[in-house]
């Protein structure tokens, strides 16, 4: 399996590389990062990819001057991945960059691979319909890596598409038991301390506000062609069940595993082959888990409602939701706004959003850029 990992130095990317060690058939064709040249240098030495692309120019120069590349071709332009994928007839791409920077590139890559394993949820939230259509045209399989969506993907493959409802679970994040009053002065450090998952900064804050679930509702709708009113979110602090699916006759199926991203990544990489072994440390021991509990979504956050409303209103609302959230989260991390302002700012942006019907990736990026500017202005006046 010829594999490229976009975002190899991130939380998902490093795990995907680690998982590849257990797959003899895996050839690391290319890895891409932005600027973490020290970790990238270690990855080049350990995994010996044919190509390594680092986008930031000064990090590229440092890497080029300081390391012996041992046959790896070091590049500075992310677009080179298009030519590489085409030339080497790549099988599998893992899209694990953050934000919208790779939206266009991810979209272009769909036609150049057989399987696109996508963690970059922003691509699906912004352009899910375009992605799914293009994948269908080119016979490319899109496999979500988000644990909930990978769970749904597995459940739907096993049990069929005639379900009446799907459920996404949420750990509830670090502030699950907090009142609105207690949340007034929480710091970025507290919000970054997720009780279950180790993830990049933005998605960790999104888990604390539950905005991550808003995006996951939108993702699920686009990936599985399900309307918002058939998608439910349930708080499940143990994060053992990732997704559930219900059929009209009352049949109910749940997808369970330990909350470790290595599990969906590996299962996606081996295409669900049940005869392949996973390390014993990822196996569930019910004596240790003891109980599974469920609750309603916290009353203090309107996040899930934002996601369902954005789907209902359609057009550019999901794009506006993502752009507003990204700017608000960054502003919170830079201590420009308090925690509760994140969802307040998003709400204001959504209330004033004048929707359009974006038809192309360029249209989408235009909306994204305009809403970012509007949100930055709003942050300045808060």
Ligand X SMILES: NC(=O)c1ccc[n+]([C@@H]2O[C@H](COP(=O)([O-])OP(=O)(O)OC[C@H]3O[C@@H](n4cnc5c(N)ncnc54)[C@H](OP(=O)(O)O)[C@@H]3O)[C@@H](O)[C@H]2O)c1
**What are the residues binding ligand X (CB under 6 A)?**
7-13, 32-36, 55, 78, 96-98, 101, 119-122, 146, 197, 199-200, 203, 261
The DSSP secondary structure of 267-308, one letter per residue, reads: HHHTTT-TTS---GGGS--HHHH-----BPPPTT--HHHHHH
Whole-angstrom distance, CA of residue 35 vs CA of residue 56: 5
Whole-angstrom distance, CA of residue 67 vs CA of residue 38: 10
Taking the complex as a whole, how short is the minimal distance between the CB of residue 33 and ligand X, in angstroms?
A: 4
The answer to whether 125 and 142 are in contact (CB under 8 A) is no
- Nearer to ligand X by Cβ, of 76 and 382: the residue is 76
- Nearer to ligand X by Cβ, of 333 and 356: the residue is 333
DSSP 196: S
- Nearer to ligand X by Cβ, of 203 and 214: the residue is 203
The pair of three-digit structure tokens given for residue 314, joined into one six-digit string? 């359609």
- Nearer to ligand X by Cβ, of 40 and 175: the residue is 40
Taking the complex as a whole, how short is the minimal distance between the CB of residue 122 and ligand X, in angstroms?
A: 5
Taking the complex as a whole, how short is the minimal distance between the CB of residue 121 and ligand X, in angstroms?
A: 5
- Nearer to ligand X by Cβ, of 123 and 301: the residue is 123
Strands 27-33 and 2-6: parallel
Taking the complex as a whole, how short is the minimal distance between the CB of residue 59 and ligand X, in angstroms?
A: 7
Whole-angstrom distance, CA of residue 99 vs CA of residue 162: 33
Taking the complex as a whole, how short is the minimal distance between the CB of residue 185 and ligand X, in angstroms?
A: 26
Phi, psi of 168 (to 5 degrees): -110, 135
Q: Supply angle C-alpha 219, 124, 318, rounded to 5.
A: 70
- Nearer to ligand X by Cβ, of 146 and 325: the residue is 146
- Nearer to ligand X by Cβ, of 252 and 282: the residue is 282
Taking the complex as a whole, how short is the minimal distance between the CB of residue 346 and ligand X, in angstroms?
A: 17
- Nearer to ligand X by Cβ, of 146 and 374: the residue is 146
The answer to whether 100 and 127 are in contact (CB under 8 A) is no
Whole-angstrom distance, CA of residue 293 vs CA of residue 288: 14
Taking the complex as a whole, how short is the minimal distance between the CB of residue 9 and ligand X, in angstroms?
A: 4
Taking the complex as a whole, how short is the minimal distance between the CB of residue 317 and ligand X, in angstroms?
A: 19
| Angle, helices 147-159/262-269, rounded to nearest 10 degrees | 40
List Cα–Cα distances, 312 to 53, 64, 123, 317, in angstroms.
Answer: 39, 49, 19, 9
Coil, strand or helix at 219: helix
Task: State the residue number with the nearest CB to ligand X.
Answer: 10
The answer to whether 167 and 232 are in contact (CB under 8 A) is yes
The answer to whether 104 and 130 are in contact (CB under 8 A) is no
């Amino acid at each position: 399996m010829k594999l490229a990992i976009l975002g190899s130095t991130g939380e998902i990317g490093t795990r995907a590389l680690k998982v590849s060690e257990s797959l003899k058939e895996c050839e690391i064709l290319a890895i891409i990062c932005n600027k973490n040249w020290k970790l990238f240098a270690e990855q080049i030495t350990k995994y010996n990819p044919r190509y390594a692309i680092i986008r930031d120019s000064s990090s590229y120069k440092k890497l080029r001057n300081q390391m012996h590349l041992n046959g790896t071709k070091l590049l500075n332009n992310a677009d080179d991945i298009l030519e590489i994928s085409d030339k080497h007839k790549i099988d599998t791409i893992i899209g694990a960059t953050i934000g919208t920077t790779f939206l266009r590139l991810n979209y272009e890559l769909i036609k150049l691979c057989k399987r696109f394993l996508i963690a970059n949820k922003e691509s699906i939230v912004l352009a899910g319909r375009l992605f799914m259509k293009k994948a269908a045209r080119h016979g490319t399989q899109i496999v979500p890596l988000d644990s909930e969506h990978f769970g749904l993907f597995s459940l739907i493959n096993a049990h069929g598409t005639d379900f009446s409802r799907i459920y996404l679970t949420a750990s509830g994040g670090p502030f699950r038991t907090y009142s609105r009053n207690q949340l007034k002065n929480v710091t970025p450090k507290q919000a970054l301390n997720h009780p279950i998952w180790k993830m990049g900064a933005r998605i960790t804050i999104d888990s604390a506000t539950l905005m991550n679930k808003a995006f996951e509702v939108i993702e699920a709708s686009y990936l599985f062609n399900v309307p918002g009113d058939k998608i439910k979110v349930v708080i499940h602090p143990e994060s053992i069940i990732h997704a559930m699916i219900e059929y009209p006759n009352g049949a109910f199926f749940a997808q369970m595993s330990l909350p470790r991203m290595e599990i969906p990544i590996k299962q996606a990489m081996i295409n669900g082959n049940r005869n392949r072994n996973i390390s014993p440390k990822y196996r569930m021991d019910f004596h240790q888990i003891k109980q599974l509990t469920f609750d309603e979504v916290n009353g203090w956050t309107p996040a899930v409602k934002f996601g369902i409303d954005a789907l209902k209103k359609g057009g550019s609302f999901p794009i506006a939701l993502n752009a507003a959230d990204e700017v608000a989260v960054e502003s919170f991390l830079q201590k420009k706004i308090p925690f509760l302002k994140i969802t307040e700012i998003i709400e204001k942006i959504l209330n004033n959003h004048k929707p359009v019907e974006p038809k192309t990736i360029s249209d989408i990026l235009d909306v994204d850029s305009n809403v970012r500017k509007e949100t930055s202005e709003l942050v300045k006046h808060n």
